[in-house]
Structures are given as C-alpha cells and as structure tokens.
Structure 1
Amino acid sequence: MNKQLLIVAHAPSANTRRLRDAAERGACHPDIEAVEVTVKAPLDAGPEDVLACDAILLGTTENLGYMSGALKDFFDRSYYAVIEEKQGLPCALYVRAGRDGTGTRRAVEGIVTGLRWRWAQEPLILRGEWQEEFAEQVEELGLYLAAGLEAGVL
C-alpha cells in the first residue's frame, strides 16, 4: 500500500507557486514509486487530509513576522481533530521570508510541538530577495521527505 504525503502550501504569488510546484515535483520524482502526493492550499485542506496522510510538508510566506493567515486557519481547523491520532507525524516546513523568518518558524514550531509531530528535518527558511536556488532547495526538500517516507525511515 502506498504512503500518503500531504503538501499544504500557501502560494499567493508567482514565486510562491513556483515553490509549491517544486515541492510537488521533488515529491513526485520518478524514482519514488510508493508515495502518493496530495497538494492543497491551506484554506482547502482540513483535518481529514491530515488524518489520511503519513507525512506532511508545510509551506508558508512570512507575513508580518508570522505564518500566513491561511496556514494558521488550517491549523485552527485541524488541531484538535488530529492531535490524538497523528502524534509522531513526520513533517517538514519551508518559509518564504522577505526578512528573517524567525517569528514564522517559531510560530509553526510551537504548533508542531503541541501536535507532537516529528520534524523530518530542520525547517527551510528562504530569506531575502528571490533567488532561483529557492525552488531547487524546496524541490530537494520534497524529494527527501517522499524518499524517507517510501524507505520507511520517517
């Protein structure tokens, strides 16, 4: 039976859509055969999606030193519905940060700690002006998360 990877990414601009698409591209790498990938915007995702997944990749913009309101809304609607059943869920995060991303990272880490999810790797903070490497880094993040899930190491 295939594992399920859920990507919940806020993508309000062309560049953040490129990041979301890069995460999906990495997770859907042709060498990964036993992982099914679902990509949803935070306002379209809910607890049923979290309950159905085996790992989650979160993507957000930095908005006034915090995660996007859309991602916060996703957490607000999902938190209590998944807290008992999804403890230990492997997760990863990328933040498109115009400044430093510290507040955004800290806010998501606090929620993830409360949910008792498990970081598959350190959050990826994409700081400053847009750089082409950002998409490559997020693609790699998606690839590593899906490969780890497929290999059973997450």
Structure 2
Amino acid sequence: MKTLLAVVHAPSANTQRLSGALETGAHHPDIEGINCVCKSPHETVPEDILNADGIIIGTTENLGYMAGMTKDLFDRCYYAVLEQKQGLPCALYVRAGHDGTGTQRGIESIITGLRWRWVQPPLILRGQWDNAFCDQVEELGTYMAAGLENGLF
C-alpha cells in the first residue's frame, strides 16, 4: 500500500470543501492501493513526509504569498526530509483570491530546493469562489492517487 500525503491549509468553509474534494478524488472507487492521509500543515511532522510516496500541498494565498501555516510546515520539515525524499512526486493547489503567482513562486522555490518532482503544473484557483474548484481539486486527487498506484511516478 502506497501513501499519498495531502497537507492542506483549510481555514474556511470553502477551503474545507476543497480538502474534502481532494480526499474524495484520492479515494476513487477504482483506486485500491493508496492510503490517503490528509493533515493540516500544523499537524504534519517530518515523519509524515518521510512515510509518503507522494504529496499534495493545498494552501491559500495570504498577502500575496503562501499561508503562514504552510510556510511553517516547510520551516519545520525542510532539513529533516531533504536528503531522504528527493524525487518525491508532488502537486500543488492554491486557493487564490487574486492571482496566486507569489504563492506559486514561493512554493516552487522550496520544492526546487527539496528536489521534489512535479507531476503536473500547479493548480491555481483564482478569483471569486466557483463550485468548479472542487471538481478540479477532486480530479487532482484522483490523478495523483491513480498515478502512484500505477507506478507512473
């Protein structure tokens, strides 16, 4: 059984809906060999990342940058996982009230340093809330879980 770790900052009802959609996608009925563990950045410890076969980061855009809790996750875990998790398949979604570029750049810089491997371009959910955001994040969860199960990444 492979483990997909979803580290999601979900401070609002809508971002909690995104987290639920991600879990729904990762638990698609056609996918059997994946254990999806969803945690907040605050709850996540280096051992969670060390035990993961893939990771999805979900964050909000705060003041043109990633959420402070997401940044705290990287601050606490970066060096503890740096050498052992190079090549970790990863994906990102950002709930951005504006354009999300500062958040995307900040996280891409950290991921580059960690030497994790993007499995798809970051998903930026821009502007006013749209219920279609949940469909996009659910699809991301399904894609990541199916790819891990089938050894694609």
Report the TM-score when normalising by structure 2.
Answer: 0.99
Equivalence for 2:151? 152
Q: Could you tell me how far 1:91 is from its partner in structure 2?
A: 0.2
Aligned-pair CA distance for 1:110: 0.2
Report percent identity of matched pairs. 65
- C-alpha distance in structure 2 between counterparts of 1:134 and 1:47, whole Å: 29
Partner of 1:44: 43
Query: Is 1:72 aligned to residue 71 of structure 2?
Result: yes
1:4 has 2:3 as partner: yes
Query: What is the aligned residue count?
Result: 153
Helix, strand or coil at the partner of 1:6: strand
The match for 1:63 is 62
SS in 2 for 1:100: coil
Q: What amino acid does structure 2 have at the position aligned with 1:109?
A: E
Q: State the partner residue of 1:27.
A: 26
2:99 corresponds in structure 1 to 100
**Residue 91 of structure 2 corresponds to residue 88 of structure 1:** no
Q: Deviations over 1:33-91 (max 9, x none)?
A: 00001000000001110000000000000000000000100000100000000000000
Q: Distance in 1 between matches of 2:22 and 2:74?
A: 20
- Normalising by structure 1, what TM-score? 0.99
**CA-atom RMSD, angstroms?**
0.3
Give per-residue Cα distances to partners, 1:70-120, cap 9 Å, x unaligned.
Answer: 010000010000000000000000000000000000000000000000001
Alpha-carbon distance in 1 for matches of 2:54, 2:137: 16
List gaps (5 residues or longer) in structure 1.
none
